[in-house]
Amino acid sequence: EAQVTQNPRYLITVTGKKLTVTCSQNMNHEYMSWYRQDPGLGLRQIYYSMNVEVTDKGDVPEGYKVSRKEKRNFPLILESPSPNQTSLYFCASSLRAGNSPLHFGNGTRLTVT
């Protein structure tokens, strides 16, 4: 089944403890992206990747890192999480960066205390 898989679905952690949210797609998509969704603010892009070894900042990249060493994987790294990073995170991918629709993962609800 064609899908974007994120893990974990739920995560509670403490301030400063490094964490990684994994994202993997099995559709051979070139474009991958991370969004966070907060009430009243909608979906905001954190980072995106046009292809392997190519990543770029979105609208809210502060406090996050990403890597794209393989086409299928695009992990999101929080080196030192803070409470303002408590949010619902979505990974998404599309065939290319043009008019291809995004396929979203099921989301990761992160709470930082």
Partner 1 sequence: GQNIDQPTEMTATEGAIVQINCTYQTSGFNGLFWYQQHAGEAPTFLSYNVLDGLEEKGRFSSFLSRSKGYSYLLLKELQMKDSASYLCAVKGYSTLTFGKGTMLLVSP
Residue 28 φ then ψ, to 5°: 60, 35
Contact flag: residue 40 with partner 1 (CB under 8 A): yes
Contact flag: residue 58 with partner 1 (CB under 8 A): yes
Contact flag: residue 65 with partner 1 (CB under 8 A): no
Contact flag: residue 41 with partner 1 (CB under 8 A): yes
Nearest CB to partner 1, comparing residues 15 and 28: 28
List the one residue from 34, 48, 64, 74 that touches partner 1 (CB under 8 A). Answer: 48
Helix or strand (DSSP H, E) at 3: none
List the one residue from 11, 19, 20, 50 that touches partner 1 (CB under 8 A). Answer: 50
How far is Cα 100 from Cα 111, in angstroms, rounded to an integer? 32
Smallest CA-to-CA distance from 92 within 28, 15, 25, 26 is with 25
Contact flag: residue 105 with partner 1 (CB under 8 A): yes
Instruction: Look up residue 102 and give its two tokens.
Output: 């995004």
